[in-house]
Amino acid sequence: MGADAGPKIVVDGAEITRVRCPDVRYLMYGDRALVEPLLAAYPDLQAITEVRHTDKFITMEDKPAQAIRKGRDTSMWHAISAVQQGEADVVVSAGNTGALMAMAKIQLRTMRGVDRPAIAALWPTERGESVVLDVGANVDCDERQLVTFAIMGEAFARAVFGLQRPLVGVLNIGTEEVKGNEAVKAAAQILQDADLPIKFYGFVEGDDIGAGTVDVVVTDGFTGNVALKTAEGTARLISHYLSTAIRRSLFARIGYLLASGAFNVLRTKMDPRSVNGGVFLGLNGLVVKSHGGTDEMGMASAVELAHNMISHDLVEKIEQDVQHIYGTEDAEVPELRPANKEVSA
């Protein structure tokens, strides 16, 4: 109910995913009077979907505290509760990010050893894809939180990319050891010295993200979100430039027709909808956040990402790696200790 375009893009996206991932089943929470007529257009989707009615939902304008006060009668709360109670494997939402994180932390709670969850995004690169985290959940981070992000990110990369020891880098304003704030420099030192189940590359810069220099890019949520939105805006700008250039003359149109195959490939690779969806890592359950302004193709990508996370037992892998590094003695403020053995995938 909370997406910019309302429930239609959710239903249309679910139909796309039904075809691509035929084992998916849906619980949809929202106003039955709005959702069921949309489902009626897709009889096969309707057959695998249960609609649970609530006419209360979180808006994009609601602050997290306001969302919590609206509480247990909202569609977002019920959707998260389905995961917490084991009725669903994952919740996918295109609603208010802050409210989704706040409600997810209350219901699912963070894993033992994790202070703050992070939002991880798959990022298209010259080598394929990389994981970038955090892209919006935590504006300020200390070194321990950045190290925890690295641990969760490498588990994500091992699960999704099938890598034994993912290459991890810390995003910085330069690659020299003297550059960066104290948290970034301290996190890099810990990652360099500790015997973690990763290959630590060192510092990476903004242009290394698109180049695919590392498998996992670690940063705070402020920097990560700015980088994400900048990349999305740049992709749209390039698409606009190409479209304008193609329409400029008859010869340009002819050239476009001759090279239409290559342009189609480029359009697909630059389409931010194909990698829509950020995963909340560090919770005792799976939550995928879709961009609020996406369309049905973007929503389908988010649901497919959720399906992929379930298939790879992501929560279990992250929990194993966090406990392997931090131990279980102190759930609130665990101390980083060197690992003495590999963690198997």
Task: Give the H or E element holding residue 245.
Answer: helix 221-246
Cα gap 222→28, rounded to integer Å: 32
The string of pLDDT tens digits covering residues 187-218 is 998 888 877 767 899 899 999 998 999 999 99
Residue 332's pLDDT band (boundaries 50, 70, 90)?
very low
- The three-class DSSP label of residue 328 is coil
Q: 1-108+279-312, which class in CATH?
A: alpha beta
pLDDT of residue 120: 92
Which pTM value belongs to this model? 0.79
Could you tell me how many residues make up the chain? Answer: 345
Residue 155 dihedral angles phi and psi, to the nearest 5° = -65, -40
Do 167 and 215 touch, CB atoms closer than 8 A? yes
The residues that bridge with 120 in the sheet, in sequence order, are 133, 279
CA 234 to chain centroid = 19
CATH 3.40.640.10 fits 116-270, yes or no: no
CATH 3.40.718.10 domain position(s) in the chain = 1-108+279-312, 116-270
8 Å CB contact between 73 and 46? no
Q: Please provide residue 17's backbone torsions phi and psi, each rounded to the nearest 5 degrees.
A: -70, -35
Give pLDDT tens digits for 6-38: 899 999 999 999 999 999 999 999 999 999 999
Mean pLDDT, the chain, rounded, equals: 84
Q: Which residues pair with 130 in a beta bridge?
A: 123
